[in-house]
A and B are shown apart, each in its own frame.
Chain A
Amino acid sequence: NAGVTQTPKFRVLKTGQSMTLLCAQDMNHEYMYWYRQDPGMGLRLIHYSVGEGTTAKGEVPDGYNVSRLKKQNFLLGLESAAPSQTSVYFCASSYRGDYSNQPQHFGDGTRLSIL
C-alpha cells in the first residue's frame, strides 16, 4: 500500500518563485493536513481539509494556499517563496469515522530550500 505520497521529495527555489507540493493518499480518507517542521518547533499546521472542495486555515497559513479538488489529493502552493519558508513539509490524512480518535497517517516529507 502506498499510503500517503508526497511529490517532490526535494526542491530548491529562488526567492519569489512559485511552486506546488502534491499530496496523494489512497486510503479514502476524508481529512487531509499540511504541516511544516522546523528545528525545535515540532510540527505546525498550515492548512487542512475536511472533505473534497473544502479547506481551512491552520496555525501558520500566511504565504500558502491549498486546494482539494479531488478527495485523494491535497495541494499546497507557495505563490512567492520566501527564505522563511525553508522547511520540511509533511502531508497527513485521517479517516473521519469517530474523529476523536482516528490517527493521522503521514507522508515522507518534502524538503524545501528557498535561496
Chain B
Amino acid sequence: GDSVTQMEGPVTLSEEAFLTINCTYTATGYPSLFWYVQYPGEGLQLLLKATKADDKGSNKGFEATYRKETTSFHLEKGSVQVSDSAVYFCAPMTTDSWGKLQFGAGTQVVVTP
C-alpha cells in the first residue's frame, strides 16, 4: 500500500536559518502531493500542493517540488521565523480515489530567536 516517510523531529533552528524537511513516498501512479502545517492547539492547514511531476508548490516562503524520479516532495524555506514553529505533515493523495490522504508522522520544527 501507499506509505510516506518524513524526517524525524524535532528540528531546532535559529531564526533566519534554512529549513528543509525531507519527504519520500510510495504510491501506485502519480498522486497529488500536499504539505500541511499544524500550529499548537490547532487543526491542520494546507501549506502548499503540487499535482504533477516537476510542479513547484509555494506559499508563505515555503517551497516543494514534485520529483517523480525520486518520489520525493521535500519542503524548504530559505529564512525561517519564530512563527514558523509548528508540526509539518507531508501527505500524498491516495491513488485509489475519493480524495483520501496518506499522512506522514509529522516533523516538529522549533525556531528560536
Q: Which residues of A does B touch, CB under 8 Å?
A: 4, 31, 33, 35, 40-45, 48, 50, 56, 58, 90, 92, 94, 96, 99-109
The answer, among A42, A50, A101, for a CB contact under 8 Å with B89, is: A42
The stretch among B68-76, B77-85, B98-106 that forms the contact with chain A is B98-106
**A90, B43: Cβ atoms under 8 Å?**
yes
The 10 closest A-B pairs by CB, nearest first: A106-B43, A42-B103, A101-B51, A43-B103, A106-B44, A101-B32, A103-B46, A42-B105, A108-B43, A99-B99
B25 at the interface (CB under 8 A from A): no
* B97 adjacent to A103 (CB under 8 Å): no
Given A42-B103, A42-B104, A43-B89, A99–B97 Cβ distance below 8 Å? yes
A50 touches B49 (CB 8 A): no
A101-B36 Cα distance, complex, nearest whole Å: 14
Whether B100 and A45, one on each chain, are in contact in the complex, defined by CB atoms closer than 8 angstroms, is: yes
Q: How far is the CA of A41 from the CA of B4 in the complex (A)?
A: 11
Bound: A96/B100 CA distance, A: 11
What residue of chain A has the Cβ atom nearest to residue B94's Cβ?
Answer: A45
Number of A-B residue pairs having CB atoms within 8 Å of each other in the complex: 59
User: Would B104 and A100 count as touching, CB distance under 8 A?
Assistant: no
Nearest-CB residue, chain B, relative to A31: B99
**Interface of chain B, main secondary structure:** loop
* Closest chain A residue, CB of each to CB of B106: A42
- Looking at the complex, which one of B4, B32, B44, B100 makes contact with A48 (CB distance below 8 Å)? B100
Question: Is B45 close to A, CB under 8 A?
Answer: yes
A50 in contact with B106 given A90-B44, A101-B49, A103-B46 (CB within 8 Å): no
CB of A103 within 8 A of CB of B103, answer no
Instruction: Kindly list chain B residues whose C-beta atoms are within 8 Å of the C-beta of A45.
Output: 100-101
B91-113 contacts to A (CB < 8 Å)? 93, 97-101, 103-106
Tell me the complex Cα distance, A96–B97, Å: 10
Chain A residues closer than 8 Å to B51, beta-carbon distance: 100-101
Q: Which residue of the partner chain, among A50, A92, A109, contacts B98 with CB atoms under 8 Å?
A: A50
What are 24 A-to-B residue pairs whose CB atoms are below 8 Å?
A: A31-B98, A41-B105, A42-B4, A42-B103, A42-B105, A42-B106, A43-B44, A44-B103, A48-B100, A90-B43, A92-B44, A96-B99, A99-B97, A99-B98, A100-B32, A100-B51, A100-B93, A100-B99, A101-B49, A101-B51, A102-B99, A103-B49, A104-B101, A108-B43
